[in-house]
Structure 1
Amino acid sequence: MSEVETLSDTRQMNMIEAINSALDVMLDRDPDVILLGEDIGYFGGVFRATAGLQEKFGKHRVFDTPISECGIIGAAVGMGAYGLRPVPEIQFADYIYPGLDQLISEAARLRYRSAGEFVAPMTVRSPFGGGIFGGQTHSQSPEALFTHVAGLKTVIPATPYDAKGLLISCIEDNDPVIFFEPKRIYNGPFDGYYDKPAKSWKGHADAQVPEGYYKVPLGKARLAREGEALTVLAYGTMVHVAQAVCEAKGVDAEILDLRTLVPLDIEAIEASVEKTGRCLIVHEATRTSGFGAELSALVTERCFYHLEAPVERVTGFDTPYPHSLEWAYFPGPVRIGEAIDKIMQD
């Protein structure tokens, strides 16, 4: 589990509720925490992640902004330099691009440029990935862009428990963090099977979330499934899809939920691959220059003499995210199963 600093009762939450709880806890705990974004106040956010927070904490702590991603992120940089801890929401990850200059040129470099005199303790929340048939304007997975930027941290939870604990850690961190929320699993874990009924988080062990304050440390992977025959590296939605496939195929696979891409738990990856001798990487983003390429390089560099088969990747395709063909684009049981068969036969 995590670093629980204040013991409290737990209750079952989906990921949206866990995120809302984290924001509630931090707004109450730290008067410097500020929430800002499009429709996050009175409306409570397009996915309701900030529902009720403006009413509870007031319009000066939780407020709506104009439709200007550059303005939202730029304002957050200034707030952070001033001493606040802003948590801007970008309504969809696809909308974040107008704010890239503020993130890359200002937020990520502020500590270095000022020789530590100023920091940008801001956490940019944004739903990302597929799940609503939103196509190329509401479904992209741009995490690799941010892992390339020195000075930014990139965090992607896969469970409600981690979503709350990681978000609290991000808000308290003194560096800018990109906190991507996999909307496919907002309301329940997703196994990738189109013809099966949607799951919910009800009864899931990682949906039992403490009501109060606790932290999940950044830079520590989670062992989602223990195994001996194969290591699967995944994050976000793909953790659940990979787990469902491995269980259906009866493969003794070890699944590492990376949780944070930067900082990355390289030690956990090395230990797992050295134990199993095989490695499969799964992510939803496009293949070329995706974060899986970095993972593959790291595994090959550090674990080459332990590998019994080439590292395999299952990813999205090198094409804009399609509306009607979302299920074909999304890495699912067929493609993941084929990759597992290939690795295990070598």
Structure 2
Amino acid sequence: MNNVNNINKNAIGSSYGRRAASSEGGTIEITVRDALNAAMAEEMDRDEKVFLMGEEVAQYNGAYKVSRGLLDRFGEKRVIDTPITEAGFTGLCVGAALAGLVPICEFMTFNFAMQAIDQIINSGAKTLYMSGGTQPCPIVFRGPNGAAAGVAAQHSQDYTAWYGAIPGLKVVSPYSAEDAKGLLKAAIRDPNPTIFLENEILYGESFPLSVEAQSPDFVLPLGKAKIERPGTDLTIVTHSRNTEFSLKAAEILQKQYNVSAEVINLRTIKPMDIPAIVKSVKKTNRIISVDSGFPAFGFGSEICAQIMESEAFDYLDAPVGRVTGAEVPTPYAIQLEEFSFPTPDIIVKAAKSALYLED
């Protein structure tokens, strides 16, 4: 392949991506998996200091096939398989970033990143501050976050709140293919250590990719939310796969209760686009948050605190509502797992409570 555009076309036309809604020179359909692949390929083509390291990222094309084809294009010096040693290869990546390279450190799941939490936080996140601003650490830690399906508690935690609490880290949580491509490119170019939380179930889902987003120059700014659905009666603020559930809930609210719900896809958890949330609440006067983390000290708690401490408080006509995961390690049994996380029906129930609607 001679250029990045060829890589993208190969990815889009493969068995991992569909072009059902595509046309020459227009919007195309692409999976989140292929959007991430294209983002890494474009940034590796743009900057020779960028490299990818992790378990099975090279010869096996990635545990989830996100890095498919990158070894053939960029070679074994820039796409590097590692042993099952998260603490080791994460430390190596952080050291490479401190030395001036731009690593993409892939975890097979962020649950395994717990083995390398010292390198991520003490070596990665804190170094710029502790060096008096002289030592940046341009690195992206990426991989699937949260529950997949039937993989039990030790593979199903949502780390959004964990990393969002750490000074020095940027935290990104994309939803669509356009999110994934534009935000990953921004994360790779950012001089700060960035946690990039993907969703395993979303890897195979297809989304429209605009003409603009197909360009190698396309980058989404970190810290800017996207209004996925405008509304006037209620604000639903969310991220990652819960954006899909929130949009479905908004459709139910519109059809069954004539309620116009505004759905905000935050995209970036830290820095968080508080002005976008405040602006929406001033219009709708009601807000609920939706995420899959634990209820205590989590994403929803932060949304609530931000609203209560801002001028949006004076516009509230109802308490801030939270929809979260259950206060329990994720069950292995699929029926119990389904009870442990938000669904459109649960979101609708929370929305009705905020709107004081009776069944």
Under a length normalisation based on structure 1, what TM-score does the superposition of the two structures give?
0.91
CA distance in 2, matches of 1:344, 1:207: 35
Match of 1:193 in 2: none
Per the alignment, in what secondary structure is the counterpart of residue 36 of structure 1? strand
Match of 1:228 in 2: 232
Deviations 1:299-329 (A, max 9, x none): 1211111000000001101111112122111
Structure 1 residue runs of 4 or more that deviate by more than 3 Å after TM superposition: 8-11, 204-209
Deviation at 1:115, TM superposition (A): 1.6
Structure 2: which amino acid aligns with 1:320? P
Structure 2: which amino acid aligns with 1:40? V
Q: Is the 8 A contact 1:159 1:207 kept in 2?
A: no
Deviation at 1:246, TM superposition (A): 1.2
Deviations 1:218-277 (A, max 9, x none): 000001110000000100000110110110221300111000010111111110011110
Match of 1:69 in 2: 86
Q: Is the 8 A contact 1:129 1:184 kept in 2?
A: no
Deviation at 1:206, TM superposition (A): 4.7
Does 2:351 correspond to 1:343?
no
Q: Is the 8 A contact 2:109 2:145 kept in 1?
A: yes
Match of 1:212 in 2: 216
Mapping of 1:247-326 within 5 angstroms?
247-250=251-254, 251-302=259-310, 303-324=312-333, 325-326=336-337
Does 2:104 correspond to 1:87?
yes
Structure 2: which amino acid aligns with 1:205? P
Q: Is the 8 A contact 1:19 1:49 kept in 2?
A: yes
CA distance in 1, matches of 2:351, 2:96: 47
Count of aligned residue pairs for this structure pair: 325
Change (3 A) 1:343 1:206: farther
Higher RCO structure (Cα 8 Å, ≥6 apart):
1
Deviations 1:40-71 (A, max 9, x none): 01001111000110111000000111111111
CA distance in 2, matches of 1:304, 1:42: 53
Deviations 1:194-234 (A, max 9, x none): xxxxxxx2xx4357740523100000000111000000010
Under a length normalisation based on structure 2, what TM-score does the superposition of the two structures give?
0.88
Does 2:65 correspond to 1:43?
no
Match of 2:338 in 1: 327
CA distance in 2, matches of 1:12, 1:63: 30
Deviation at 1:333, TM superposition (A): 2.2
Q: 2:242 aligns with which of 238, 244, 257?
A: 238
Per the alignment, in what secondary structure is the counterpart of residue 285 of structure 1? coil
Q: Is the 8 A contact 1:121 1:174 kept in 2?
A: yes
Q: Percent of pairs identical after alignment? A: 35
Match of 1:198 in 2: none
CA distance in 2, matches of 1:307, 1:187: 39
Match of 2:115 in 1: 98
CA distance in 1, matches of 2:60, 2:217: 25
